[in-house]
Chains A and B, each alone.
Chain A
Amino acid sequence: MWNVLRAELTKLRRPSLSVSTLLAVTFVTSLITSVLFLLVDSPEGNGERGIKIGRDVLSLPTGISLSFSNSAGLLGVVALCVFAAQTAQEYTYGTLRNLLVRQPSRMKILIGKLGAMKLFAIVMVTFSAAVGIALSYLYAGVKNISTAAWSTSDAKAAVLHGFINVLIATIGYGIFGMILGLLFRSPISAISIGVIWNLIFEGLLSAFVKNIDRYFPGQLLSIVAQGGSDRISYQYALFTSYGFLLGGLAVVAFLFKKRDVAN
């Protein structure tokens, strides 16, 4: 398993993947942070689905981590794409047969891959946190938002909690991508179905059907990233979303173990 993890890191470190992923993370975090701070006075709102987050909220100790917490949904889409592509490409390149000849235990391959991609997700979220916090300070100055509470121990705790929650959510989205990658065995199919499901299907239905987001893993992961919401508790969101994901992962892991590798 460790050998697989080391090998996967070699693949994930390649500049074409790592640099483009970090650029995507920078773009997503910058976009959310810019909207959050620069539209603070907008009557249209500056948060998700038109929610208004005022100066008073942004100047709280939790204000420092709000930008990257709110980025979790889009960071998740990036993770979904990376995890799905890294898994499904083994089928399209035909490299799975090479991996299985060198490591016949399919579960070790799967666990090693997941471990490496979790490490990649940690780098992604750390980078997002750094970009989000730096931009938050910059924009707070521009929009006259007080940052006095951002250097307190409460703020440090909020950053830590935010980091852990965003990481859990990002890995959750990634696992969803991995499930799709194993199921569809094609990066394009897995990514397009994942993104359509997350952004369009879940997003639209949740906007129009009351309380349906309680049953959607993508929506629940977003709530995990924000530490819970008024309607849905953190614990419910965490256990239900990961329940769906781990159940799905168990099914595709079984298929991966039993399926012939004929391409």
Chain B
Amino acid sequence: MSSPLALDVADLSKKYGDRMALSHANFEVPMGSICGFVGPNGSGKTTTIRMLLGLITPTTGGGHVLGESITEPEKYLPRVGAMIEGPAFYPALTGFQNLNVLAKIGGFSTDAIAGLLDLVGLGDRGDSKYKTYSLGMKQRLGIAAALLPNPKLLVLDEPTNGLDPAGIHEIRTLLRKLADAGTTVFVSSHLLSEIEMISDHLVMLRLGKVIFSGKTSDLLAKQQPVIVAKPENVSDLNKLAQIATAAGHDVRIMENTVHVTGTSDFSAKLNKAAFEAGITLESLTPVKASLEETFFEMTGE
């Protein structure tokens, strides 16, 4: 079966002993998108990525990568770039030599290596041994290696680990540029704020199960906005919460603030009601639900 999608998996599972690392996963990733793959540690992200790359065999189910079955990785891997579970290279070889090894194995031109090193900001350190690299530099080399085949699909597992804020921004810009040029980016991360900023699609995992798969905007639209109110006196927290509850809103007290589920037009009403009850508010802020909050709400954590 051929598929216009970059990735699709159906009923994909992997069992280790009695433990299901991934349980009957179903999701699709459209071509040309940046898809965030999120979930806490041990939720099955890396297991899924390894199955997609032919490194481990699924217990049940299957899928397609760039229209080819995952049982025949040789048909699609020449068009896939990947960095799995962090960068892994030979410490005694230089950055350039490490990329040279991978380019030769894949049958790619070695002419592009210098340009790739420049692209990821390692142009002046290509001749240094890998063992002398900082964590951020290793990460950059991993991204350069993933770009060697000029991929149609780029699979990156935690690509911003160890990068400073400027480096994270550079990688974010690079991924957007690649997606704009038609490369599909499938990126896993535990930094949900990062994923929220760059991804237009999401696959969310928890305990080996897919709990959401679709457009990021659809997920966030489902979430109610929140108004965060901070009374001047901490002793007014419960009184303020009661006012919001009486108005029919869900309320949570967190770190000297009251979180009220509701649209921003309730802010004025809450402000007035608080004033009439003798409560002075230090701040009153309508907040759009973030991916992180949405995730915690969905996973109940």
Residues of chain A touching chain B, judged by Cβ–Cβ distance below 8 Å, are 3-4, 6-7, 10-11, 14, 16-17, 89, 93-95, 97-105, 260-262
State whether the Cβ of B204 lies closer than 8 Å to any Cβ in chain A. Answer: no
Q: Please judge, given known A-B contacts A3-B105, A102-B105, whether A14 and B50 are in contact too, CB under 8 Å.
A: no
Return the chain B residue nearest A89 by Cβ. B90
A29 to chain B, nearest CB (A): 25
Residues of chain B touching chain A, judged by Cβ–Cβ distance below 8 Å, are 50, 53-57, 73-74, 77, 80, 82, 84-86, 88-93, 97, 100-102, 104-107, 145, 148-149
State the majority secondary structure of interface residues on A.
helix
- Asked if A262 and B56 make an inter-chain contact with CB atoms under 8 angstroms apart, the answer reads yes
| Chain B residues in 8 Å Cβ range of A99 | 102, 105
- Asked if A260 and B104 make an inter-chain contact with CB atoms under 8 angstroms apart, the answer reads no
- Asked if B102 and A102 make an inter-chain contact with CB atoms under 8 angstroms apart, the answer reads yes
B127 to chain A, nearest CB (A): 13
CA separation between A11 and B104, bound complex, in Å?
Answer: 12
Return the chain A residue nearest B82 by Cβ. A101
- Asked if A16 and B92 make an inter-chain contact with CB atoms under 8 angstroms apart, the answer reads yes
| Chain A residues in 8 Å Cβ range of B77 | 101-102, 104
- Asked if A7 and B105 make an inter-chain contact with CB atoms under 8 angstroms apart, the answer reads yes
- Asked if B93 and A11 make an inter-chain contact with CB atoms under 8 angstroms apart, the answer reads yes
Which of B50, B73, B105 has the largest number of chain A CB atoms within 10 A?
B105
Q: Please judge, given known A-B contacts A14-B93, A100-B55, whether A261 and B106 are in contact too, CB under 8 Å.
A: no
B129 to chain A, nearest CB (A): 9
Return the chain B residue nearest A94 by Cβ. B88
- Asked if A14 and B92 make an inter-chain contact with CB atoms under 8 angstroms apart, the answer reads yes
- Asked if B56 and A261 make an inter-chain contact with CB atoms under 8 angstroms apart, the answer reads yes
CA separation between A3 and B88, bound complex, in Å?
Answer: 20
Q: Please judge, given known A-B contacts A3-B106, A11-B90, whether A104 and B101 are in contact too, CB under 8 Å.
A: no
- Asked if B105 and A4 make an inter-chain contact with CB atoms under 8 angstroms apart, the answer reads yes
Known pairs A93-B91, A260-B50 / 12 extra A-B pairs, C-beta < 8 Å: A3-B106, A11-B90, A11-B101, A14-B93, A94-B88, A97-B50, A97-B55, A98-B102, A100-B55, A101-B53, A101-B54, A262-B56
CA separation between A179 and B101, bound complex, in Å?
Answer: 23
Give the residue of A7, A17, A94, A105 whose beta carbon is less than 8 angstroms from that of B102: A7
- Asked if B88 and A97 make an inter-chain contact with CB atoms under 8 angstroms apart, the answer reads yes
- Asked if B54 and A100 make an inter-chain contact with CB atoms under 8 angstroms apart, the answer reads yes
